[in-house]
Amino acid sequence: MEEVAELLASLLESESFPKFSYRELFEIHLNINPHQAGAEEIATIAQERIDLSTSELEKTDYLQLLMTTVIEPKLPPACFIYDYPKEQASLAVIEKNIAQDTVAKRFEVYCQGMELANGYYELIDVAEQRQRFEADNNARQAHGLEVYPIDEKFLAALESGMPSCSGVALGIDRLFMAMYNVEYIDQAISFSLDRV
C-alpha cells in the first residue's frame, strides 16, 4: 500500500491517503462489524437503507450494495480500504487480522468516488484455489448463471511453485480521469465502445 500511496501522491499531487479497514468503515457508517454480523442482520440493514427489488441475495452481495450506496459516497477524496470480508477474497490470501477477524488480504484505492486500484496478497495454495473456483461455480449454478471452466493452466502454474507474492492492478483510464478531472471514462480511453 505504501508504494501505491507514494505513486498516487506524486501523480495526483495529494499528500493524504488515509487507510481504513473495511470493518472500520462499516462500524462508522452502519454500526456493524461486517466480518462477524450474520447474513440476516446485514440483509435487514441493507433493506432498511437501500430500495431493493429482491431479498434473495447472499451476504457478500448485501455488503457490496451497502459499500456502494451508503459508504462510498461518504469516503474522503482519496483513501485506501483494506481487510475485505473473506467472501470477497477472490485470489487473495485469507487470514486473521490484528482484530482477530478472518479477512481477505486485499485492498482497494478510491479517489474522487471511484476505485483506482486493487491489490492482493496472492493465494498460492493450489488446493484452496481449486476449492474457491468450485465454490464460485456452485454458487453461479445455484443462481442459474453460466458455470466457467476451471483454469487448469493457472492451477498448474501455482503447483509448479509460484513464490509468495502480491500485486496491484491500477486502472490507467481512471487515474487519467482523476489527474485531469475528466468526468466520463469514455473521455479517458482511446477507443470507447461507441467509437469502436
CA angle (142 as vertex; 141, 143 as ends), nearest 5: 90
The pLDDT value recorded for residue 19 is 96
Number of domains within the chain: 1
Residue 65 lies in a domain: no
| Rounded-to-integer distance, Cα 27 and Cα 121, Å | 24
How much is the pLDDT for 38?
A: 94
- Walking along the chain (196 residues) 10 residues at a time, the average pLDDT comes out as 91 86 98 95 93 83 95 94 94 94 96 92 95 93 93 93 92 90 82 68
- Residue 69 belongs to some domain of the structure: no
Give the CATH number, domain containing residue 110.
3.30.930.10
119 within some domain: yes
In a domain, 86, yes or no: yes
Q: C-alpha distances in angstroms, 190 versus 115, 180, 196?
A: 20, 15, 10
The three-state (H, E, C) secondary structure of 71-107, written as one string: HHHHCCCEEEEEEEEHHHCCCECEEECCCCCEEEEEE
Is 170 in contact with 117 (CB distance < 8 Å)?
yes
- Residue 195: the pLDDT is 66
pLDDT of residue 143: 85
pLDDT for 147: 95
| Domain encompassing residue 91 | 2-34+77-124+163-195
What is residue 52's predicted lDDT score, i.e. its pLDDT?
83
In a domain, 140, yes or no: no
Residue 42 lies in a domain: no
The kind and range of the H/E element at 20 are: strand 19-21
CA-to-CA distance for 162 and 23, rounded, in angstroms? 31
What pLDDT is stored for residue 18 in this prediction?
Answer: 94
**In degrees, to the nearest 5, what angle opens at C-alpha 29 toward C-alphas 118 and 68?**
45
Q: Would you say residue 147 lies in a domain? A: no
**131 within a domain of the structure (yes/no):** no
